Amino acid sequence: MNTVTAPSSSPATVSLNPGFWARRNVLDWLFALVLLAGTAFAWHKYGYAMDEYETGILLLTTPGLIALGWFWRPMQKLMLAVGGLSLLAIWLYQGPDGAAHIDRAETVFGLKFLLSSQSAILWMGVLCFVATVFYWIALFAQGEKDTFGRIATGMVWLAVTLALVGTMVRWYESYLLGPDIGHIPVSNLYEVFVMFIWMTALFYLYYEEQYAARALGGFVMLVVSAAVGFLLWYTVAREGQEIQPLIPALQSWWMKVHVPANFIGYGTFALSAMVAFAYLIKQQATETKWYKLAPLWLLGVALCFEPLAFRQSQSGGSSYWIVYAGISALIVGGILSLRKPIAARLPAFEVLDSMMYKAIAVGFAFFTIATVLGALWAADAWGGYWSWDPKETWALIVWLNYAAWLHMRLMKGLRGTVSAWWALVGLAVTTFAFLGVNMFLSGLHSYGEL
């Protein structure tokens, strides 16, 4: 006998997420109005100096920034803080005669100690170092773990803010030196290392919030601090902070879009590698057989070898790189020795695996865009889309490496140990493409030599 169930007298309740526009609040709209007003002001004041390409970039950047601020609301505070502090710095450069003077960077207190490009970037470096220490304290602290972690996160936000202020003010300072010198600060190693630092840190802050994964801060900030260490050396040994006129090959609007897209890739690839390192530490937490830990020890050796190899390729700064290598060895040795208590505080394997995947997916998308833009730039500058220059060849190797990683992930379900080691190898390949080519090879990109 069949049993028929009577329909419920009360209708089913269907819960729907509010639409995109319904989720916008008053602050979202005020933020959008501020950015639109800023764009109108920039066009009114500086439109005469913009060609059609720069005008297009300005008009496309504004809705992009609005969308970014709506997607992740902490970006709204960051953009407004960077804009306000940058305008304050510009105002401080104005002398009693109403004209701006570059030498005021050494005489005005607010510029000399905080808001000139060099001061802001130096503060960024200090905050990155201190934040790294606080993240590791938070990892081991018991009762005060959240307090130390919040302090570390706040320091990273402040470091990103000052890095962006330093970048914007440096852009302005380049024009104070002369209209023919002024350019967007993405043209040399000093400037792109600053970009790498704030971009990697900012992506980490997003993933920290989305995954509640503050325990990974110490790992990710290690690679950021390593970049700060290189930046300090480059400032002292090569005077990289000095603003120089662009060489003819870089006097192109393509640079304004190619380089930032490239460094979104570099930053997210570095982030994924450090998450992969944390994955392997967690996996090997209880391993006692030395030969099974050998790959991780070899990672430490590689970390030490890299700065020593770099030192051999340079004419100065040898003691700096010896100390750098020694600190690297101590850090890696300490992490491996304390892997068991560290692993207990790390997120679950599923979270680490998801973060690796999403970081690589974002980086691969932007790196692909950057590679296409680079080919278009090459055609415009040299008459051909591809010339198998060492930089181009290694960019292709990086692209193929992550394309294969994503293919294996999506088609074959790659997970776990193999994917983590692959992400670490990817960082080594990317680092060589970024720095090694400049150190040991030459070609059409030889203007980037160290």
With a pLDDT cut of 70, the percent of the chain lying above it is: 86
Our count of domains for the chain comes to: 2
Task: Indicate whether 99 and 163 sit together in one domain.
Answer: yes
Based on the fold, state whether residues 66 and 148 are members of the same structural domain.
no
Compute the 3-state secondary structure of the chain and give helix, strand, coil in percent, each to the nearest 5. 80, 0, 20
On whether both 79 and 202 belong to a single domain, the answer is: yes
pLDDT in tens, 418-446: 999 999 989 989 988 888 777 766 655 65
- Tell me the per-residue pLDDT of 145-195, one tens digit each, with 9 for 90 and over: 588 999 999 999 999 999 999 999 999 999 999 888 988 899 888 999 999
**Do the domain assignments include residue 229?**
yes
pLDDT surpassing 60 at residue 314: no
In a domain, 338, yes or no: no
Taking phi first (over 0 means left), then psi (-120 to 50 degrees means alpha), and beta for anything else, what does residue 212 get? left
Q: Mean pLDDT across the stretch 254-276?
A: 93
Q: Which residues pair with 94 in a beta bridge?
A: 100
Q: What pLDDT, on a 0 to 100 scale, did the predictor assign at position 313?
A: 54
User: Measured between alpha carbons, how far is residue 108 from residues 103, 118, 119, 176, 356 in Å?
Assistant: 9, 14, 12, 16, 45
Of the candidates 227, 246, 265, which is a domain's last residue? 246
Q: Which domain holds residue 83?
A: 75-246
For residue 9, tell me if it sits in a domain: no
SS3 102: helix
Q: Pull the structure tokens for residue 26.
A: 């008053």
Tally of residues, the chain: 450
DSSP state at residue 434: I
In a domain, 128, yes or no: yes
Q: Does 63 lie in the same domain as 120?
A: no
Q: In this predicted model, what pLDDT tens digit does every residue of 200-232 receive, in sequence order?
A: 999 999 999 999 999 999 999 999 999 999 899
Longest dimension (CA), the chain: 99
Handedness of CA 42, 47, 49, 54 (dihedral sign): positive
Confidence of residue 365 (pLDDT cuts 50, 70, 90): very high
What's the whole-number average pLDDT of the chain?
86
Mean pLDDT of 59-71: 93
pLDDT at 233: 87
**295 or 84, higher pLDDT:** 84
CATH, residue 226: 1.20.120
Q: What is the DSSP letter of 99?
A: -
Tokens of 4: 């028929």
99-108, 146-155, 386-395: segment of lowest average pLDDT: 386-395
Residues 60 and 149 in one domain: no
Q: Are residues 172 and 144 in the same domain?
A: yes
* Band of pLDDT at residue 253, cut at 50, 70 and 90: confident
Range with lowest mean pLDDT among 1-10, 23-32, 96-105, 367-376 = 1-10
CA angle 179, 184, 186 (to 5 degrees): 140
State the average pLDDT over residues 64-90. Answer: 96
Two tokens, residue 373: 């833009």
Domain boundary residue among 216, 246, 276?
246
Residue 149: inside a domain, yes or no? yes
Q: Answer yes or no: is pLDDT of 303 > 50.
A: yes
Its pTM stands at: 0.90
Residue 390 is encoded by which pair of tokens? 């060492």
What integer is the mean pLDDT of 413-420? 91
Do residues 175 and 237 both lie within one domain? yes
Residue 109 within a domain: yes
Q: What is the pLDDT of residue 9?
A: 47
Q: What percent of the chain has pLDDT over 90?
A: 55
Asked if residue 148 is part of any domain, the answer here is yes
**Does 448 reside within a domain?**
no
Do 197 and 178 reside in the same domain of the chain? yes
Give, to the nearest 10 degrees, the angle between helix 416-431 and helix 254-283: 140
pLDDT at 271 over 70: yes
Same domain flag for 64 and 186: no
pLDDT at residue 171, as a whole number = 94
Name the more confident of 257 and 268: 268
Residue where a domain stops, chosen among 246, 271, 297: 246
251-255, 360-364, 413-417: which has the highest mean pLDDT? Answer: 360-364
DSSP one-letter code for 435: I
223 and 208, same domain (yes or no): yes
Q: What is the pLDDT of residue 91?
A: 95
Q: Are residues 115 and 60 in the same domain?
A: no
What is the pLDDT confidence band of residue 1, given thresholds at 50, 70 and 90? very low
- Distance between CA atoms of residues 156 and 162, nearest Å: 10
User: Highest-confidence range of 286-295, 312-321, 336-345, by mean pLDDT?
Assistant: 336-345
Let me know whether 227 and 241 are in one domain: yes
Residue 315 has pLDDT above 80, yes or no: no
